[in-house]
Each structure stands twice: as structure tokens, then as C-alpha cells.
Amino acid sequence: MRNFIFLCFALCLGFSTLGQSQQIDQLIEDAIKKHDAGDYEAAIKLYDDALKLEPKNTRALAEKGFSLYRAGDFKACVKTCESAIKTAPKNSRYIMSYVTLGNALDALQEPQQSLKVYNRGLKVAPDFYLLHFNKSITYFGLKEYAKSLESAELGSQYNRSHASSVNVMATLLNGENRRIPALLTTMYFLVLEPSGDRANGNFDLMKELLGANVEKKGNQINITIPSGDESSKRDDFSSVDLIFSLTIATIGTKKEDKDKNEVELFQDRISLLIASLTTNVDKKKGYYWESLAPYFVALENAGHLRAFCYWVNQPANKTYIADWLKENEQKVATFREWHEAYEW
């Protein structure tokens, strides 16, 4: 009889626990919908209802922290995210709590504390790209540009589709006057994101970098020879910069160039750049020599240079570019498939 009563009690307790768990899950799902609709106050209330049933529910705490951040309540966000992390300090499933916490501390003008949080998170998930990217943004705000670039590079390395990391890299490389790495980076950004305000900015920078070191005055062409002081830095592209500057000046001046459009001339320039990269790609060391340089060499070898050139020139907003992309949808799709399958 006692065993029967105990079994009935255990079953009732089990059903009660299961029912409460389902109720919590439903409250969290409803809260997420409210958050996604921009109703952060309603979302926070639903998370609080879930936390009344289970105060240490990591998912509810983590999601509530994000809603508090979006609502602009940064102090409450910090407290909630710390609680979420405390309940599951080594669970990479909730790694976004470190990102949210770091962002909130940044918003509270506590960048050093923010960096400490990102580093704590990286001990749990060393390859989580958003932690590296947000470190980059914090370092950028502190004007520690070398550290910002290093973190952005790691963000891109761990997620090759993360355009925001690449965007930061392009900005910083251009600021350091590292022309070739900056050019490769802007072109890669436009592969990832060929439209929008950021694309327009990178497109303008790409054109500026292509024309750097070369000045045309009538029939006279003046070439500024790069100083070559890049040899003391990571990724020495000084020899490529020199050769590219000397050869690019001839593009558009030949008789056969007369009937070419801007994208075709752009392709000629990029082909010259890739030829210079090909000569050294197996010998040089550094982040850009070992990642973006091989990517563009492989791109041309795979026969996708024409599709790439039209794709990244979309910000020019020219009818003939849109027409070419529409008429060559299969070539563009094949290029995109190649890009997605590329092994870094």
C-alpha cells in the first residue's frame, strides 16, 4: 500500500513538474514574439512571469537581458545577464549573454569592464565570432586600432560571412594606408553585401584605392612609388603595390580599351592585381596573404572573375550592370555557389 501511495505521489509530482516546464517554455516563446515585434516591455513582463516559476531559468534570464538591452535599461540588463551567466557559466548555448552584457557595459561607458566580459566569454567559446567583433568595436572606441583590427580579423576568420567584421577591417586598413589589404577587404565586403549604405561606402573606398598612387593629367601619367615601409608590418604587400601601381596606369589608355565599359576596365585592373598576387601567394605569410589573397587567386582560376566584377559594381547603380546580372543569372549563381563552398 505504501509503495502504491509513493508511486502515485511520484507520478503526480512528475506531471506537475512537466506541466510547469511546458508553461515556462510557452511564456518564453510568447515573450520572444513580443520582443521581435518591438514590444520589449511586454516581453520583459512575460520573462518575469516565467522566472517566478523558475527563478534560475537560464534561457529566461538570457532573453530578458537582451530585451532590457533593447529597451535601453542597461543597468538592469547588466544585472540580469550576470544572473544568466551565473546559472550556466560554461554553457556555450548561452554565450550571447556575454555579448549582451559587454554591449550594455559599453553603453554605460565602461569599456574596460566590457573587454573583461568579452574575454570571459572567449574562455567559454574561443571561436565565437561576435565576441571578437564586439571586442573590436570596443577597442575602436578606445582608439586602440591595432587591437581593434586584430579582433575584427578573428571575427571574420571564425565567420567568413560576417560582413560587419570585414567592414571594420576595411576602415582600419585604409586608416593605416595599407592599400592592397584594404582593397582586398573592400572587394570581399562587396561580395558579402553588394547593396546598402555600407556597400556604397566600401564601393567608393574601393575606387579610391584602385586609383591611389596614379594621377592622370591630360596625356601625362604620374605614378607615386609606394614607400615600401610595410615590410615591418604584418602582411607585406609592398612589392605587389609597386607592380600594381606601375601596370594599372596603362588600363584605359590602349586602343582596344576604347569600347570597354567601366566594369570591363575594372576587370582588367583586378586581373593585373591577381596576377601580382599569384606570384607570391605561396611564399608570403600573414592574415591577408593566407586568406584573402588565395581567395581571389582561386576566384579567377575558377573562371568567376567577370561575374565577380559585375556583382561588386552594383553600387554604381548603372542599368547595363543590372542588365548583365539579369542576363547572366546562371553565371552569377555559379559564382555564388563557388563562394559558399570555398574552403578557407
Is a pLDDT exceeding 60 seen at residue 60?
yes
Q: Do 58 and 108 belong together in one domain?
A: yes
CA distance readout (Å), 8 to 5, 12, 106: 5, 6, 53
Which residues, 6+ apart, have CB-to-CB distance to 308 below 8 Å?
191, 270, 299, 335
Which residues span the domain enclosing 300? 162-344
Same domain, 241 and 104: no
pLDDT at position 243:
84
Inform me whether the pLDDT recorded for 14 exceeds 90: no
Whether the per-residue pLDDT at 312 is higher than 70: the answer is yes
Mean pLDDT of 204-228: 69
254-283 pLDDT per residue, tens: 667 678 899 999 999 999 999 999 988 888
Whether 148 maps to a domain, the answer reads no
Same domain, 197 and 59: no
For position 4, what pLDDT does the model report? Answer: 41
Global pTM value = 0.88
Residues 261 and 310 in one domain: yes
Same domain, 119 and 252: no
Q: Are residues 232 and 288 in the same domain?
A: yes
CATH code: domain of residue 30: 1.25.40.10
Q: Is the CB of residue 56 less than 8 Å from the CB of residue 87?
A: yes
Number of domains in the chain: 2
pLDDT at 183: 97
> For residue range 285-308, what is the model confidence (pLDDT) as tens digits?
899 999 999 999 999 999 999 999
pLDDT score recorded for residue 234: 63
Residue 66 lies in a domain: yes
Q: Is residue 27 located within the same domain as residue 84?
A: yes
pLDDT at residue 284, as a whole number: 87
Residue 334 corresponds to which cell in the numbers above?
555559379
Helices (H), 37-162: 40-53, 58-71, 74-87, 96-107, 111-124, 129-141, 145-158
Contact 54, 76 (CB under 8 A): no
Q: Is 157 within 8 Å of 185 (Cβ atoms)?
A: no
The predicted-structure confidence for 81-129, as pLDDT tens digits, reads as follows: 999 999 998 888 999 999 999 999 999 999 999 999 999 999 999 999 9
Across the strands, what pairs with 222?
A: 215
Residue 201 and residue 344 in one domain: yes
